[in-house]
Structure 1
Amino acid sequence: MIHFVLLVSRHGAKVRLSKFYTQYSARERARIVQLLAPIVIARSSKLCNFLDFRGVRVAYKRYAGLYFIVGIDDGDNELHTLDIIHHYVVVLDKHFGNVCELDLIFNFDKAYYMLDEVLVAGRLVESSKNIITTNIEEQDAEMAESAV
């Protein structure tokens, strides 16, 4: 099971998106971000993309200026987690073109909605990029209609 998903900028370790699927207090969430982000950013690109952090296995992947960090159970498949990260990035790319940090800053609501289309309760629920894209386009059309 996925415990949390964090999107952290490479410069300054600013959190651009955070979603927790396990019950943590606000203080614990802040502490996880505060401790984990610098560890991931400081790691050499020659090291593997997995590490253990406070009883949680962490898988991460860097895309352009963003680190996608996912905390999973110790027995879960790390390679499958990297595939989930890539799946989410492809969905973001399909919607935004070539997704960048600014897309997430100015469209954070869509980024969260896309993550909710991919993961529910820490589990992968939709593996079809086309279905997710169709759902997002339908939501955008409904938002445009309600604005008129």
Structure 2
Amino acid sequence: MIKFILLVNKDGQSRLSRYYHNILGEERENLERETIQKCLPRSKKECSFLEYQNMMLIYRRYMSLFFIVGVDSDENELSILELIQNLVETFDRYFNDVSELDITMNVEKAYMILDEMILNGHIIETSKNRILAPIYATENN
């Protein structure tokens, strides 16, 4: 199960976060800070998976954004990398070559895309057309 998804810029500032389990404010801040400190300084040659506390962190860098996903230790890491790739491609399709500015200026649309893909920590949709259809429908009204 997916526990959380973070989009962080290269300076460590969180641009988007979604949690799929109950976690309180201060504990959430500590988790984000420690997760960012673990993932950002890693080199490109290092593996994109790392164990942290009782979960696995899977991350990937695209342009100036880091996509970090925290999952249960029994989750398939490669499927989560595919999820990240699909999320980036969906953002690219919607925003026409997504950038950090696109996410910060259209955070509600970014959350809508994410929510169409993941529900309660489980991947429910991977088709870019099906993910974007409700978002395009809200724009046409």
TM-score by length of 2: 0.97
Name 2:27's counterpart in structure 1. Answer: 28
Name 1:8's counterpart in structure 2. Answer: 8
What one-letter code is carried by the residue in structure 1 that aligns with 2:81? L
Report the Cα distance in structure 2 between the residues aligned to 1:134 and 1:116, rounded to whole angstroms.
13
Report the Cα distance in structure 1 between the residues aligned to 2:121 and 2:131, rounded to whole angstroms.
17
| Aligned residue-pair number | 141
What one-letter code is carried by the residue in structure 2 that aligns with 1:62? R
Report the Cα distance in structure 2 between the residues aligned to 1:125 and 1:139, rounded to whole angstroms.
20
Q: Which runs of 4+ in 1 moved over 6 A?
A: none
Name 2:75's counterpart in structure 1. Answer: 76
Q: Cα offset for 1:70?
A: 0.2
RMSD: 0.7
Report the Cα distance in structure 2 between the residues aligned to 1:32 and 1:44, rounded to whole angstroms.
21
TM-score by length of 1: 0.93
Secondary structure, counterpart of 1:42 in structure 2: coil
Name 1:146's counterpart in structure 2. Answer: none
Q: Cα offset for 1:132?
A: 1.3
Name 1:40's counterpart in structure 2. Answer: 39
Gaps of 5+ in 2: none
Name 1:92's counterpart in structure 2. Answer: 91
What one-letter code is carried by the residue in structure 2 that aligns with 1:124? I
Secondary structure, counterpart of 2:3 in structure 1: strand
Secondary structure, counterpart of 1:17 in structure 2: strand
Report the Cα distance in structure 2 between the residues aligned to 1:33 and 1:133, rounded to whole angstroms.
28
What one-letter code is carried by the residue in structure 1 that aligns with 2:98? V
Name 1:113's counterpart in structure 2. Answer: 112
What one-letter code is carried by the residue in structure 2 that aligns with 1:9? N
What one-letter code is carried by the residue in structure 2 that aligns with 1:24? I
Q: Cα offset for 1:92?
A: 0.5
